[in-house]
Structure 1
Amino acid sequence: MVRYEYRCPACGPWAVALPMGAADAQRTCPTCGDPSPRRWSAPQLNRMDPALARERLREEASRDAPDVVTSVPRAARRRAPADRRQARLPRP
């Protein structure tokens, strides 16, 4: 489905989703019923969240040229238990 935009002289802009190529040059306004000419606008091809787009590009780049790791990441520091009796329990 493609989003086609129309502009009613009385009500202003409105849009309708139709199959590609099914839009007429004029349609009746859903609010007032007056004929509304079709507006020509750029297709909205890239409407993805910028953070998601960056992550997808990073993922695609790692497929062909993955990041080289030179060392093992440092382990997270464990906190000492608050109760001394728990210190003697086995750790995983």
Structure 2
Amino acid sequence: MSALTLVSPQPGLEAASDLSDDALDYGRAALSENTMRAYRGDWLEFEAWCADRQRPHLPASPATVANFASSLASAGKKVPTIARKLAAVRFFHRGAGQ
């Protein structure tokens, strides 16, 4: 399963279908299996956080992402953890062509 298949489908976000097999293979190889596992969990956490606040997760506004980061800090998450979670949000947005 590619990381791009984990992005929730939204109207008008067909970017994954435009990628060649070579591009998908490169995306799969660019990150370790452990990183992808962490990113999947981080993305699901972000989706749930957005849903709880009735905010769109894809595309998420800069304010939504900033508020998510702030909530992580308020919950006691350390800077490296917050940075990885934000990297996951960026990864999935880029994968969806955002």
**What TM-score comes out, normalization by structure 2 length?**
0.22
Larger Rg: 1
Higher helix share: 2
**What TM-score comes out, normalization by structure 1 length?**
0.24
> Which fold has the larger relative contact order, with Cα–Cα distance below 8 Å and residues 6 or more apart in sequence?
2
Higher strand share: 1
